[in-house]
Structure 1
C-alpha cells in the first residue's frame, strides 16, 4: 500500500512542480527516486541503472525525429512558408470563421510534419489578431490551437509524421498509414465535435458580454511581410515529407533485400525489427527532403538564415527530447516498483476475454497521464506490454494496424495534464495561465480520448 501511495505522491508532486513552471528534466528523476525510496529501493542504483539507461534508450531511437522535425519546422518558419499558409487560411475564411481558420492552419502544418511547438509559435500571432477582430475571448486561443495541432493531425490521421504516429511502428511492424479507416473516422469525429464545442464556448462567452479582453500579456505585433512565398508553393515541403515517406515505406524499401546485410555485423538488426527500422529510415529521409525543399523555396527570405534555422531547430529539439526522455526515465522507474505491478495487472486484465484494444487504450492513456507525455507514456506502455498485446491480437484475429492506431490515438488523451510540456509552452506563448485556459484544453482532450473508446466499441461490436 505504501508503494502505491509513493507512486501517487510522486506523480502529484511532479504535476505540481510542472504547474509552477519548474523543469521536468530536473524534477522527473527527483520524484522518481522519491517513489523508489518509499518502495524500499536504493537511490543511486535506481538512478544510474534504471532511470538513465531508459532515458538513453529513448534518445537513441527517437532523437532523429525530434531533431529533423524541429529543423524542418524552423526552415518552414524562416522561409516564411509556415506564416504564408497560416495567413492565407485566416484571410480566406475571415473573422466569422476565426476558430475554424486557426484549427485548419494548425492542422495543415502539423500534418505536414512541422513540430507542435513550432506550429503554436507560427499560428498564435494570426490567432490573436483574428480573435481580437472577431471579439472572441483570448482565453479560448490555446484550446483552438490544441484542437488543430494536438489531436487529430497529431496521431489520428494516417500518414502524419508526428512522433506519436511513429513510435508504434517499432512494436507492431506497421507504417505511418496503419488502420486508415479507423484513424480517418476518428479524425473526422474529433474535428467536428471539437469545432462544435469551441463555437459553443464562444457563443456562451459572447452572450455573457465577454469579448477579447484587455491588458493581456504577450500580445503580438502583426507586421506585414512582403517576402512571403505563395501559399500553394509553401505547401510543397509539407507534401514532400508525406510523399517521400509513403513511397519509401510502400514501394522502395519493400523491394530491397535489406535483411541480407543489416542482420549481419556490424548492424545486427533482428529480423523481427527490420520493417519498423525501415519505416523509421523512410521518415528520416522524408523529413530531410522536406527540410531541403523548405530551405530553397524562398531564397530571398531565408538567405543568411540557414544557419539560424539549423541551430535554433537543433537547440529546440534538445529541450523537447530531453523533457520527454526524462519523463520516460521517470515512467520506467515507476514501472519497476512493486506497487506498479498491481496497477499493471489491473490494466492488462481489462476485457481480458475479448479484444486487446480496450486494455491497450486504457494502459497507454494512463501512462501518458503519468508521464505527462504522449510519446513517453506510449513508449513505456508498448515497451512493457507491446509483445503481449501483439500475441493477444493474433489470438483474437485483431490487426496489428489497429493496435498501432489505437495506441497512437490513446496517447494523446490524458497526456495533456497540467505537467505536459506542450500545454505549458502553449500557455506561455499565448500569455495566459492554467486558470484562464486549461479547462478548455482539457475538454478538447476529453473529446479526443472519448472518440478512441467509442471507435473501439464499434470495432469490437462489428468485428
Structure 2
C-alpha cells in the first residue's frame, strides 16, 4: 500500500513543482496522472481516454460559458476604460489619507461586479501606485492590498458574487450563488477587518522607520491622472446590471427555473433537476446582458479594438478552463487508484462533521494545485456526493456545504506557485521576497476564518 500512496503524493508534488516552474498544466497534469497510474499498476491508456478525458470534457461542458462570458465582460470593461474609471473615482474620492482602504474597496467593487481578478489587478494598479506614492506608503504593500480586495471575500464569501469559485458548488449541491448568505457576510466582514488591521499595521511600521514609497521600482505606470475615461456612473451601470439580473434570475418569480417546462427538460434534454444547472443559466443570462450594455454604452471607445479584444478574451478563457479541466481529470483518475482510499479516509476522519472535513480537503487541494477553482473542482468531483450524503444524514443544509467549500477554495490556494499571485507580482513589478509576506498573511487569515466558521457551525448543527 505504501507504493500506491507514494505514487499519488509524488504526482501531486510534481504537479506543484512543474506548475511553479511555469510548465503548462494542460500538458503536465495528464503526464503526472499517468505516472501515478503506472506506479499503481493501473492501465495507462484506458485511464487517460476513459477517465481523464471524459471528466475534463464534462467540466468544459459545464463551465465554459461562464469562463468565456466572464472574460469577455471583463475585457469590454477594460477596453472601454470603465473599470479604470470606477477604480480612479473610488481612489480619488477616499483620498491619500485612506489609500489602502481606497484600493481595497476599488478591487472589491470590480470583483463583486463580475470582472475577473486579472482584469481588476491591471485596472487598479495604476491608481494604487499613484495614491501610494502620494501617501508615501511602501510600494511593496500594493500586492497585499489588491489581494485583500480582489482575492478574498468578494471572490467567494459574499453571497451572489459571480466569480467561478462561487459557481462551481452549485452543480454539486443544487444551490445558487446566494447560498448561506449570513455565513458568507460574517466571514467576509471578518476577513475584511482582519486584512485591513494587518495592512494598516504594516503601513504604520514603515512610517515609524521612515520607509516611503521607494525608488528604482520597475513597471511603474505612466501618470494617467488626466486620462480621458468614461463617466463613473455610466461605467458602473454594467456591474449593477449583472448583479441585479443575477439575483432576479436566481431568486425571484423570474427565476430561470420557471422559464422551461420541467417535463420537456427531463425528456428532451435529460435534465432531471433544473436546480443543478439553474445558477449557471442565470449567470449566463446576466453576464450576456451586462456585456451588451457595456458595449452599447461605450461603443465609440471599443469599436476599433473590439475584434482583437474579443480574441484575447477568448484565448484567456480557453487557457483558464482547460487548465482547470486538466486538474479535474487528474483528480478523477487519482480517485480510481488503490492508494486514494487511504487518503480519502484520512480526510473524512479529520472530522465527523462534513463542513470541517470539506474545509480541510478543499484547502489542501487548492494549496496543492495552486488554484482555487482547480482544488475546489477536484474535491467536489471526487467527494462532493459523499459530503452531501453526510450533510443530509446530519440535517445540515447543502447551502452551508456550498459556502464553506467556496470560501475554503480561496484559502491556501494563494501559495507562491499560484498563477494569480505570480501575475499580480509581475503587474506591479515586485518579487515574492518583497511582497509575498503580506499576501501570505491574508491567505492565513482567510484560511483561519473558514475553519472558525466551520468549527462554529459544527458545534450547533
Into which bin does the TM-score normalised by the smaller protein fall?
A: over 0.9
Q: How many residues align?
A: 458
Cα RMSD over matched residues? 1.8
CA shift at 1:121, angstroms? 1.1
Aligned-pair distance for 1:125? 1.4
- Residue 382 of structure 2, aligned match among 381, 384, 387: 384
CA contact (8 A) 1:28 1:330 kept: yes
Which whole-Å CA distance do the structure 2 matches of 1:126 and 1:331 have between them? 40
Distance 1:449 1:356 in 2: 17
Aligned pairs for 1:27-46 (under 5 A) are 27-46=28-47
Q: Secondary structure at the match of 1:284?
A: helix
TM-superposed deviation, 1:149: 0.7
Rounded to whole Å, the distance in 1 between the matches of 2:420 and 2:227 is 31
For residues 440-455 of structure 1, the aligned pairs below 5 Å read 440-455=438-453
Pick closer, same or farther for the CA change 1:342–1:431 going to 2, 3 Å: same
Q: Secondary structure at the match of 1:235?
A: helix
Distance in 2, matches of 1:137 and 1:154, equals 26
CA distance in 1, matches of 2:417, 2:16: 5
TM-score for the superposition, normalised by structure 2? 0.94
Instruction: Give unmatched runs, 5+ long, in structure 1.
Output: none
Whether 1:263 aligns to 2:266 is: yes
In the other structure, the counterpart of 2:365 is: 367
What does 1:74-153 align with in structure 2 at a 5 Å threshold?
74-153=75-154
SS at match of 1:394: helix
Please list the CA deviations of residues 227-257 of structure 1 after superposition, one character each: whole Å capped at 9, or x if unmatched.
Answer: 4222122111011111111111222234445
Partners of 1:79 and 1:297 within 8 A in 2: no
Q: Is the 8 A contact 2:113 2:162 kept in 1?
A: yes
Moved more, 121-130 or 320-329: 320-329
Q: Does 1:184 align with 2:185?
A: yes
Aligned mates of 2:31, 2:451 — CA distance in 1 = 34
1:90–1:102 contact (8 Å) kept in structure 2: yes
1:266-285 matched pairs, under 5 angstroms: 267-269=269-271, 271-272=272-273, 274-285=274-285
**TM-score, normalization by structure 1:** 0.94
2:324 equivalent to 1:324: yes
Q: Is the 8 A contact 2:327 2:378 kept in 1?
A: no
Gaps of 5+ in 2: none
- The structure-2 alpha-carbon separation of the partners of 1:294 and 1:351, relative to structure 1 and needing over 3 Å to count, comes to same
Q: Give per-residue Cα distances to partners, 1:310-368, cap 9 Å, x unaligned.
A: 2221122112222222222233333333222211111122322xx32111111121222
3-state SS, counterpart of residue 159 of structure 1: coil
